């Protein structure tokens, strides 16, 4: 770290941890070797938090080499030993919960109440879950499927995993990628987004302090074009896991294919929010506002397209707009703040561009502007409701990644489900109805990796997260993600010498 920035100790109590650099390789902080620096900026104020040296290809090589050295020992540990280490890890994270929450709020602009109540507790819970899962890596029961031969299936770790995480949930995404990988016996090199590396680095240091061996978890903080592409293409990396946009996911897949890597992609989303005419209107309105504005809309599962059956449409638009007007923008560290800034002014301007272009073909009912006054120096944008856009319009089809909800009417149930499925994405969706059969039909026919009923956004460690279509493939969280990070081996024993002779005679004859 070259420059400590202007963050005060109460906002950034972990600042002194990064004096040695913002790379974490083989259990210690180091400086990047790219020759370039990057600033972590508080998006609420525009102030620099720290300036650090970016990772170059040499840093990636060093991190992969450290992970390779650590692999045999970690993969050879018993499930109980890995489980015990992860339980200790969860305890260290719990002890540092406030430090993690403040660092996450500072680098992302998230309200502190969100990081305290959602991001950090969710990460600790996920760590505890995989501590238990580490003891349940199962193969298949043995059996005699071919005469006197006994067969069974082993599940084994893959090797060194190279992962790339996004900036919208830096701590949780680090956990989702690191925990199932190491619980299964792999080692890992994670590249966080250069905008938001702080909590990924703190997470890795907490693992070391919990007794997880050096080199099992490594962090390289650099650009996608340099550090990210080198990590994905590295010949000693056996698997790549990426979370981010669909466009970048295609590039990751292209690079990974050259070395025939295992690939896990969690990509973009454009979640439909389908409100049938028998739904509880007030519940749906509150669900839509919460689902659309979570993390300032920078969530690939956020509610972005509300399809409302025509008898409820105008009331839904009116009440949703009114509720959005009550949402309080402000300092993420202030107790009364509901909504923080977007990650950067670049992202704010991108979101504003979508809304400004939509004014030519749709109705902007609420928001649609950046606030003035004290908040103007941050990357804030008001909660925005857009109505009456065409299904094929840009604002309906493209991922905006901001606090914008688009509302469209539909007439029949068939039409509502058809419209919900009518984008390239398939990550998440929700259906709102009092009729269990109607809701059940929606869960069957809406094509998405997760469909909530009368709710939108909650996740739990025991259940999988991941999409279909242009939203990618593979699962995070749950035992399903645990399986993503293992490979299957068939083992077959010849039980008798006679059987072996008979087998050879079948092939070579009597000689």
Does pLDDT of 306 surpass 60?
A: yes
pLDDT computed for residue 12 by the predictor: 84
pLDDT computed for residue 3 by the predictor: 57
Of 428, 475, 481, the C-alpha closest to 129 is: 481
Q: For the chain, report the end-to-end CA distance as a whole number of angstroms.
A: 73
Contact 194, 54 (CB under 8 A): yes
Does pLDDT of 10 surpass 90?
A: no
Long-range contacts of 91-97 (CB under 8 A, 24+ apart): 91/210, 92/206, 92/207, 92/209, 92/210, 93/120, 93/123, 93/124, 93/127, 93/203, 93/206, 94/124, 96/202, 96/206, 97/121, 97/124
| Residue of 8 and 492 predicted with greater confidence | 492
What residues have CB less than 8 Å from 196, skipping those under 6 apart?
40, 107, 108, 167, 170, 343
Query: CA–CA separation, 400 vs 280, rounded Å?
Result: 28
Strands 404-410 and 303-309, by their bridges, are parallel
pLDDT computed for residue 509 by the predictor: 63
Cα–Cα distance list, 390 to 73, 82, 255, 269, 409 (Å): 57, 53, 37, 19, 10
Least confident of 75-89, 307-321, 388-402, 475-489: 475-489
What residues have CB less than 8 Å from 342, skipping those under 6 apart?
43, 109, 296, 298, 348, 351, 379, 380, 381, 402
pLDDT computed for residue 148 by the predictor: 75
**Chain segment 448-466, per-residue pLDDT in tens:** 999 999 999 999 999 999 9
What residues have CB less than 8 Å from 254, skipping those under 6 apart?
none
Contact 303, 292 (CB under 8 A): yes
**Chain segment 271-305, per-residue pLDDT in tens:** 999 999 999 999 999 999 999 999 999 999 999 99
Radius of gyration of the chain (CA): 25
* Average pLDDT of the residues in 314-334: 97
**Which pLDDT band holds residue 499 (cuts at 50, 70, 90)?**
low
Does pLDDT of 58 surpass 70?
A: yes
Contact 113, 102 (CB under 8 A): no
Query: CA–CA separation, 504 vs 221, rounded Å?
Result: 56
**Which pLDDT band holds residue 13 (cuts at 50, 70, 90)?**
confident
pLDDT computed for residue 507 by the predictor: 65
Task: Name the residues annotated as catalytic.
Answer: 266, 300
**Chain segment 224-260, per-residue pLDDT in tens:** 999 999 999 999 999 999 999 999 999 999 999 999 9
- Dihedral in degrees, nearest 10, Cα atoms 490, 495, 499, 501: 90
pLDDT computed for residue 323 by the predictor: 98
pLDDT computed for residue 218 by the predictor: 98
pLDDT computed for residue 275 by the predictor: 98
Phi-psi group of 21: left, alpha or beta (phi > 0 → left; psi -120 to 50 → alpha; rest → beta): left
pLDDT computed for residue 498 by the predictor: 57
* Average pLDDT of the residues in 15-25: 90
Q: Where are the beta strands (DSSP E) in 261-361?
A: 262-266, 271-275, 303-309
Grouping H, G, I as helix, E, B as strand and the rest as coil, residue 467 is: coil
**Average pLDDT value for the chain:** 94
Query: CA–CA separation, 124 vs 199, rounded Å?
Result: 13
What residues have CB less than 8 Å from 367, skipping those under 6 apart?
324, 355, 381, 382, 383, 384, 385, 403, 404
Does pLDDT of 189 surpass 90?
A: yes
% residues pLDDT > 70 (the chain)? 94
**Chain segment 192-214, per-residue pLDDT in tens:** 999 999 999 999 999 999 999 99
Here the tokens at position 160 are 């060194």
Does pLDDT of 511 surpass 60?
A: no
% residues pLDDT > 90 (the chain)? 87
Query: CA–CA separation, 102 vs 97, rounded Å?
Result: 9
**Which pLDDT band holds residue 153 (cuts at 50, 70, 90)?**
confident
Residue that has been written with the tokens 């969710």 in this structure: 122
Query: CA–CA separation, 381 vs 17, rounded Å?
Result: 32
Query: CA–CA separation, 44 vs 67, rounded Å?
Result: 36
Strands 450-453 and 428-432, by their bridges, are parallel
Does pLDDT of 472 surpass 90?
A: yes
- Range with top average pLDDT, 140-144, 370-374, 490-494: 370-374
Nearest-5° Cα angle at 492, 486 to 498 = 175
- Is the model's pTM score more than 0.75? yes
């Amino acid at each position: 770290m070259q420059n400590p920035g202007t963050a005060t100790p109460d906002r950034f109590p972990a600042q002194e941890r990064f004096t040695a650099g913002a790379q974490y390789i083989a259990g210690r902080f180091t400086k990047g070797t790219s020759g370039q620096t990057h600033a972590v900026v508080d998006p609420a104020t525009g102030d620099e938090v720290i300036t650090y040296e970016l990772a170059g290809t040499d840093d990636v090589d060093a991190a992969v080499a450290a992970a390779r050295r650590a692999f045999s020992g970690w993969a050879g540990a018993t499930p109980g030993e890995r489980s015990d280490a992860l339980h200790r890890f969860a305890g260290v994270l719990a002890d540092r919960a406030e430090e993690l929450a403040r660092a996450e709020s500072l680098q992302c602009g998230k309200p502190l109440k969100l990081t305290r109540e959602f991001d950090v507790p969710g990460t600790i819970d996920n760590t505890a879950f995989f501590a238990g899962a580490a003891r349940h890596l199962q193969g298949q029961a043995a059996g005699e499927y071919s005469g006197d031969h006994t067969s069974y299936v082993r599940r084994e770790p893959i090797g060194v995993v190279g992962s790339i995480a996004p900036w919208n949930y830096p701590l949780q995404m680090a956990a989702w990628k690191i925990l199932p990988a190491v619980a299964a016996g792999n080692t890992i090199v994670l590249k966080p987004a250069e905008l938001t590396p702080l909590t990924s680095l703190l997470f890795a240091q907490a693992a070391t302090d919990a007794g997880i061996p050096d080199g099992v978890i490594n962090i390289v903080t650099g650009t996608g074009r340099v550090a990210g592409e080198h990590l994905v293409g590295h010949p000693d990396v056996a698997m790549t896991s990426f979370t981010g946009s669909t466009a970048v996911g295609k590039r990751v897949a292209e690079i990974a294919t050259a070395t025939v890597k295992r690939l896990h992609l969690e990509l973009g989303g454009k979640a439909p929010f389908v409100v049938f005419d028998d739904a509880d209107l007030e519940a749906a309105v509150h669900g839509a506002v919460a689902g659309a504005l979570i993390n300032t809309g920078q969530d690939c599962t956020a509610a972005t397209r509300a399809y409302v059956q025509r008898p409820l449409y105008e009331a839904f638009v009116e009440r949703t707009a009114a509720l959005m007007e009550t949402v309080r923008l402000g300092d993420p560290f202030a107790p009364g703040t509901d909504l923080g800034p977007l990650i950067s002014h670049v992202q704010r301007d991108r979101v504003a561009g979508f809304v400004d272009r939509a004014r030519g073909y749709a109705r902007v009912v609420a928001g649609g502007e950046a606030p003035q006054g004290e908040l103007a120096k941050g990357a804030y944008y008001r909660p925005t409701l857009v109505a009456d856009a065409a299904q094929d319009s840009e604002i309906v089809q493209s991922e905006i990644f901001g606090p914008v909800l688009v509302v469209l009417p539909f007439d029949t149930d068939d039409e509502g489900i058809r419209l919900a499925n009518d984008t390239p994405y398939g990550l998440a969706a929700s259906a709102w109805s009092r009729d269990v059969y109607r809701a059940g039909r929606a869960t069957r026919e809406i094509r998405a990796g997760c469909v909530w009923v009368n709710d939108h956004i909650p996740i739990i460690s025991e259940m999988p997260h991941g999409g279909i279509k242009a939203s990618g493939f593979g699962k995070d969280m749950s035992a399903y993600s645990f399986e993503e990070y293992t490979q299957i081996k068939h083992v077959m024993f010849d039980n008798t010498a006679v059987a072996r002779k008979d087998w050879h005679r079948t092939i070579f004859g009597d000689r």
